[in-house]
Amino acid sequence: MHPSISALIRAAIVEDVGTGDVTSLYFIPETSRSQAEIVAREPGIVSGAEIAVTVFKEIDPALEVGACIPDGSPFERGSILMKATGSTRSLLTAERTALNFLQRLCGVATQTRKYVDAVKPHPVQVWDTRKTTPGWRLLEKNAVKHGGGTNHRMGLYDHAMVKDNHLAANGDLTALQAAIHKLRAERPGVRIQLEAATLKQVADFLTLDGVEMLLLDNMTPDQQREAVKLVNGKLWLEASGGITLDTIKNVAATGVNAISVGALTHSARALDLALDLF
């Protein structure tokens, strides 16, 4: 597990438990033992099973915990996602933090699967964005993969995206070419992508050497089709901007290679999951 995720789990436990779970400490006998199941109240896609297990084990290493359905798998209403046995106090103390992680990440995976299913049968990838919950990026992007989506850049360090504000500050084609050559020489592993809001920009950017991808920003499907013809397979094309479940199939039909959707992460609803104790 990545150190940042381990730290996030510990911080979430401290946030919730603080100096101690006073309800369980005072109302549950120390010797009490129970079994618990995390049950789905609605269908979805699993993500975050390992995280939820880790929460329980962080609270009490003696707990016996296991996921019943692996990450990336579909489940129905009533499905048992996880089982745990041990100290009742520990189970109840871990309950909310474990559910918070699992509900959120299942929500992202489930949302992603809806978008992935919506583009069929077109051979287009559904990409996430950097519009993630601060501190949760690795988890949410992993949930996107569990839902069948594809990760775009992880951050500002692994993929150069020259967007409208960059172009407004330094958009001269000669300057762009010089910057591309410099980046290629100094950081050869970094992908380079330019954002185009017009077909003229698409044509201009095709004259540059070293560009791998173009982002077609807020273009209509007709404009996207024209861009696909202009590029003619020379560059990877990503469509982006206000794309919804209702519109994504029309975008997929234009021939672009990928469609990025911020809603995969920033608008995913936490799934309805519950812990039942017995």
- Asked if 78 contacts 276 with a C-beta cutoff of 8 angstroms, the reply is no
Q: Which residues pair with 275 in a beta bridge?
A: 38
pLDDT per residue rounded down to tens, the chain (278 residues): 899 999 999 999 999 999 999 999 999 999 999 999 999 999 999 999 999 999 999 999 999 999 999 999 999 999 999 999 999 999 999 999 999 999 999 999 999 999 999 999 999 999 999 999 999 999 999 999 999 999 999 999 999 999 999 999 988 999 999 999 999 999 999 999 999 999 999 999 999 999 999 999 999 999 999 999 999 999 999 999 999 999 999 999 999 999 999 999 999 999 999 999 99
Within this chain, do residues 142 and 81 fall inside the same structural domain, yes or no? no
Rounded-to-integer distance, Cα 79 and Cα 254, Å: 38
Q: What domain range is 27 assigned to?
A: 3-112+269-277
Residue 22 shares a structural domain with residue 126:
no
Q: What CATH code is carried by the domain that includes residue 158?
A: 3.20.20.70
- The one catalytic residue in 164, 217, 226, 272 is 217
Residue 183 class from Cβ within 10 Å (0-12 exposed, 13-18 middle, 19+ buried)? middle
Note if 50 is an active site residue: no
Within this chain, do residues 87 and 27 fall inside the same structural domain, yes or no? Answer: yes
* Residues 104 and 163 both lie in one domain: no
What span, in angstroms and rounded, lies between the C-alpha atoms of 215 and 67?
39
Residue 167: which H helix or E strand, with range? helix 164-170
pLDDT of residue 264: 98
Residues 124 and 260 in one domain: yes
Same domain, 212 and 103: no
Residue 36 near residue 59, CB atoms below 8 Å: no
200 carries an active-site annotation: no
217 among known catalytic residues: yes
- What per-residue confidence (pLDDT) applies to 171? 82
96 flagged as catalytic = yes
What's the pLDDT at 170? Answer: 86
The pair of structure tokens assigned to 4 is: 């940042």
Out of 10, 163, 187, 229, the active site residue is 163
Clarify whether residues 92 and 132 are in a common domain: no
Q: Are residues 12 and 101 in the same domain?
A: yes
Q: What is the CATH number of the domain that holds 10?
A: 3.90.1170.20
**Whether 122 and 103 share a structural domain:** no
**Domains in the chain: how many in total?**
2
- Tell me which of 57, 96, 225, 249 is the catalytic residue: 96
pLDDT of residue 37: 98
Clarify whether residues 194 and 210 are in a common domain: yes
Q: What is the pLDDT of residue 230?
A: 97
pLDDT in the model for residue 161: 97
Is 225 in the active site? Answer: no
User: Do 147 and 49 share a structural domain?
Assistant: no
Residues 146 and 209 in one domain: yes
